[in-house]
Each structure stands twice: as C-alpha cells, then as structure tokens.
C-alpha cells in the first residue's frame, strides 16, 4: 500500500467531464492556516486544475491568484478554462467556488519553451549550507501547514520579542517539504507563498495580515525541477512599500545549486 | 474648446448599460507600438473599465493584465465584472475582446484604505535631478507611443551598438507624460510598462521580445497622486532571470519627492 504525500492528498481533484475544466476537491486539514487553507496550497490547487486539463499546452510560466474571500473547510469546485490558445502560449482563467460563490480567481500562462540564451541576473546571496543552519518551527503553534515544511532560517527570523524594534523586512531561509517530496510546479507555487508577513518582521509587531493576491513566475521546466528533486530551496523575501493597509512582498527561490527557479510577488493586507 | 490629452482620448470608453460592465472603445494611434497598442495603454484601459463601473468600491491596489493575443487597430469591447465584494475589498475580472475573441484578460483588486502605519523599505537610488539629465528618445523610430512620454535616462540606456557586450539589466530614468498630465491610477498603470525589454540591455542584442503578463501594485491613494501632479517619476527596472524564452522584469516608480508609488513585475517573451 502506498500512502500519498499530504501535498498530493491536498491536490487531489475529481472530475466527471475532464474537458469541461470543472473539478471538485476538498480542503486539506494538513494545510490549514489560522482561518482558512494556507494560501500557497490554494495557489497550487488553481495551478493543478490547469495541469490536469486535457487541452493543456506546455508548462507553467506565470500564475496569479487572487484570494477574494475566505475558503471554508470542506468541498469546493474549480473551473479552469483555456481562454486563448496560440501556437506556443496558452492563457487560462481559473475560479474556485463554494456554494456557488467565487472565493478565488486566478490567471495562468502556460507555454512551450524553446532552448534559448539563458542567464540569471540575480545570483543567490552567500549563505551557510543547509546542514549548518538549525531547523526551527516558524510561526504560531497550532497552525497545521507549518508542519508540512522544514524551514532553516538564516536571517530575518520572526521576532522573538514583539517590542516594535524592527528595522528591516528581509528573510533568508532554506526550505523543503517534510516529509520530502520531489519538486514540481505545484509545490514551487505553494512554496512561493511560504514567507510570513513582512510587516511582522519590519515592525516587530504582530498585526493581522493576509495575502490578497500573489503572482509567481516560473523560471524552470520539468527537467530542471526533476534535477532539484527533494533538495533544499533557498528562499528570500522582502517588502518594498507599506502603505495604508497594504504592502508588497517580493520573493525569490533558488535551488541549492544556485539556479533561480521562481520569482514571486504578493500584495498583503495589514491592519493598524 | 478643450482638447483632450492623448491619454484621455485613448482611455475614452462608451457604454449603453453602465451596470452591465460592458464598454466599447477604439485603439489609439497615438499609443501604437510596433504591431499593436503599447501594453501600458492596454493595461490602463483594463483598469479604466473598473474605475468607470458604478459599483466600484475604493481605489486600485493591484492590477494583473495578461496579453493573450494581438489587438488589432479599431474597435474593441471591455467587460469588467465585480466578482466578489467584501466590506473593504473588491475583486474584479476584466476581459478585452475583438470580434468575439478575447485578446486580453485582467484581474483587479480595489480597496477602501484606512490610514495605518506606513513605511518605505526601498528608498529611491541616488540620482541627479531631472533638470540635470538630458531627455532623449528611447527606442526605434516610428513607434508612436514613445512620443507620448518624456524620458530622461540616467543609466542603462538602450545600447548604441548592438554588439553583444551587455553585462547588466538595470535602467534608471526620469519620466513623465508629454504633454504633461496630472498623474492618476491609469497613467501610473501605463507608466509601469514603460521600460524597454531588459533582454536588449543585458545582451546588447536586439531580439524579438514582448510582455505577456504584467502585475502592478499601487502604493498610493488619489491624494498622494494629486500631490505628485505633473511632476517627474523616477523609474527603475531590472531583470532577475532569463530562461528559455521568458524573463521577468521588476520595476519601481517613485515620485520626485521619493515616495514609492508603484511596484510592478512582468514576464516577457523573447526569442533566440
């Protein structure tokens, strides 16, 4: 008997007519956050519906997910529609609904890549190796999804004292899934949303905060991801601007070998 | 007699039933690029349909626009739908069509902001004042939209010789509309797409390239924009990763006084 990885359980989708693009699924207790699913898991689900569609062209290049309303524990529907298919690119719209009400919208670009001149303009920061960094639990107790990842924070750990003393919003950490699981586009999408709200770090103050929209660009194909396998990713996140209730958060994910696999940006609501 | 600014002409939308969210418009010759409209003008149009909708809640916070297919010169339709309205946020889907075929999809987040603790974590780079930088025409001759902006490049100018000698993808420039026009959300959306493709700079090689998806986060409200008025913006753009046909491009726009007004990211197709 094979036991599915919790992430694969969370991504399980059913369908009656595959070509309709309509899937059903159930929220995963293993990826529960405080008042709803971990946003990264929801982003991965939106992408997964596209990846399961029989008309899919190519591989993911860009994913934008908008968290429009709370997702409740239980069943949901995902509708993935190929809006426009060109020779080498395909544009998708995706929505997740519960009880007939849309709670999540997304757009996805997939494409057939060709081998071209390629280069990174952003080398990874110099950091100690994963084995030289202590794994610690980040974030509040009782939050299920945090147990699904191994995190080894290098700098920018969550403040140990919430005394308003913060000066900077950047975090660096090694991360991978726990239990280990070979990297794919869905897990890369989820891990792009793994960073705790920058406002907590910048202010050393715990205020209500939640991602409202996230955009992830994939800079890898299936071969590159297979090469990373179950290896660690180096993640970096920082904020650029906090303004009257919303801030942006810019993130990068490199392989341990130094390949920039994904760049991601999100806009986050915060209070006070 | 008042003459409309070319940008306001480009943004002119008609409607029969305003609440349906269905608008019609015509592409603007003044914002024509090489084989279609300037992407920034298209992004501004998607946003404009939301801003004209009678059910609008708040002001723009996030805008994602996907360029799914070529837009032809002439008439188009825009459909802007409020998918989910909460107490202080509203999520929109937008599509632009010609002859019944969708060529552009977009999602927009608008929100009522409250005054909160605010801070910039990304001060503007130190640069000479606009009056100390020469205005030059950037980009190929015969491209109409370039004439709609005054650009004063500080660093990272387009290569004068295409000899493959490039080493870095960052550009800095002062910019504003020509003729001048008071800054608003639509023009900020357009100016977020004003940077020439980073691959040209990085490689000093002219290859076919075009934006496929752009996401802009607004870090300002109408009062802040009114304060900027017709002043210069300081723009900075750089690439992070070029991989097999697509690269990302990260941009910031500050006011001359140093306020970070918008941060923007795009994924760009390139050939060879």
- The pLDDT tens digits for B135-144 are 988 777 789 9
Q: How many domains does chain A have?
A: 1
| Window A:225-244, CB contacts with B under 8 Å | 238-244
How many CA atoms within 13 Å lie on the side-chain side of B125?
16
Residue B124, domain member (yes or no): no
Q: Which residues of A touch B118 (CB under 8 A)?
A: 242-244
Residues A114-135: b if buried by 16+ CB within 10 A, e if exposed: eebbeebbbebeebeebeebeb
* B97 contacts chain A (CB < 8 A): no
**CA dist A131 to A128, A201, A236, B154, Å?**
8, 25, 18, 44
Is the C-alpha dihedral spanning A12, A17, A18, A24 positive or negative? negative
Assess whether pLDDT exceeds 80 at residue B29. yes
- Name the minimum distance, in Å, from the CA of B3 to any CA of chain A: 35
Closest CA to B54 of B25, B27, B90, B24: B90
Residue B50, domain member (yes or no): yes
Q: Which position has the token pair 């990846």?
A: A51
Burial class (CB in 10 A: 0-12, 13-18, 19+), A170: middle
pLDDT tens digits along B4-21? 999 999 999 999 899 999
Return d(Cα A83, Cα B105) in angstroms, integer: 9
Assess whether pLDDT exceeds 90 at residue A239. yes
What is the rounded average pLDDT for all residues in chain A?
96
What was the pLDDT predicted at A137?
80
Residue B243, domain member (yes or no): yes
* A89 contacts chain B (CB < 8 A): yes
Name the residue facing B93 among A105, A220, A271 (closest C-beta).
A105
Inter-chain CB proximity B84 and A93 less than 8 Å: no
Q: Which residues of A touch B109 (CB under 8 A)?
A: 66, 212-213, 267
What is the rounded average pLDDT for all residues in chain B?
96
pLDDT tens digits along B167-196? 899 999 999 999 999 999 999 999 999 999
Residue B123, domain member (yes or no): no
User: Which chain B residue has its CA at the smallest distance from A259's CA?
Assistant: B241
Check which CATH number belongs to the domain holding A195 and give it.
2.40.160.210
Phi, psi of B66 (to 5 degrees): -110, 120
In this structure, are strands B171-177 and B209-218 parallel, antiparallel, or unpaired?
unpaired
Q: Which residues of A touch B250 (CB under 8 A)?
A: 250, 263
Assess whether pLDDT exceeds 70 at residue B1. no
Assess whether pLDDT exceeds 70 at residue A1. no
| Window A:123-162, CB contacts with B under 8 Å | none
pLDDT-derived band at A272, boundaries 50, 70, 90: confident
pLDDT-derived band at A142, boundaries 50, 70, 90: confident
- Name the minimum distance, in Å, from the CA of A203 to any CA of chain B: 10
Return d(Cα B38, Cα B178) in angstroms, integer: 15
Assess whether pLDDT exceeds 90 at residue B61. yes
Residue B69, domain member (yes or no): yes
Inter-chain CB proximity A116 and B240 less than 8 Å: no
Would you say A116 and B270 are in contact if contact means Cβ atoms under 8 Å apart? yes
Residue B40, domain member (yes or no): yes
* A97 contacts chain B (CB < 8 A): no
Inter-chain CB proximity B119 and A83 less than 8 Å: no
Return d(Cα A259, Cα A188) in angstroms, integer: 13
Q: Which of A209, A244, A260 to mutate: most B Cβ within 10 Å?
A: A244
How many CA atoms within 13 Å lie on the side-chain side of A78?
32
Residue A12: count of CB within 10 angstroms of its CB = 14
Residue A57, domain member (yes or no): yes
Name the residue facing B240 among A69, A101, A121 (closest C-beta).
A121
pLDDT-derived band at A130, boundaries 50, 70, 90: very high
pLDDT tens digits along A153-197? 999 999 989 999 888 999 999 999 999 999 999 999 999 999 999
- Give the residue numbers spanning the domain of A56: 6-113+128-270
- Higher-confidence residue of A1 and A69: namely A69
Residue A119, domain member (yes or no): no
């Amino acid at each position: 008997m094979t036991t599915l990885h919790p992430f694969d359980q969370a991504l399980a989708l059913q369908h009656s007519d595959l070509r309709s693009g309509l899937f059903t699924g159930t929220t995963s207790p293993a990826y529960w956050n405080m008042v709803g699913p971990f946003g990264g898991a929801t982003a991965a689900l939106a992408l997964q519906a596209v990846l399961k569609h029989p008309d899919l062209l190519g591989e993911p290049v860009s994913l934008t997910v908008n968290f429009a309303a709370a997702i409740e524990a239980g069943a949901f529907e995902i509708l993935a529609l190929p809006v426009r298919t060109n020779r080498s690119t395909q544009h998708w719209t995706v929505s997740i609904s519960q009880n007939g009400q849309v709670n999540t919208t997304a757009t996805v670009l997939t494409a057939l890549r060709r081998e071209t001149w390629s280069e990174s303009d952003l080398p990874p920061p110099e950091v100690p190796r994963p084995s030289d960094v202590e794994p610690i639990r980040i974030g509040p107790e009782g939050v299920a999804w945090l147990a699904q990842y191994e995190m080894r924070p290098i700098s920018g750990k969550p403040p140990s004292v919430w005394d308003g003393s913060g000066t900077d919003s950047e975090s660096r950490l090694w991360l991978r899934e726990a239990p280990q699981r070979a990297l794919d586009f869905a897990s890369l999408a989820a891990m792009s949303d793994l960073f705790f709200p920058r406002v907590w770090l910048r202010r050393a103050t715990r205020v209500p905060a939640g991602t409202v929209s996230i955009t992830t660009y994939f800079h890898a194909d299936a071969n590159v991801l297979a090469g990373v396998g179950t290896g660690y990713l180096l993640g970096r996140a920082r904020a650029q601007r906090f303004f009257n209730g919303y801030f942006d958060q810019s993130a990068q994910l490199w392989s341990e070998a130094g390949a920039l696999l994904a760049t991601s940006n999100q806009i986050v609501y915060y209070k006070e």
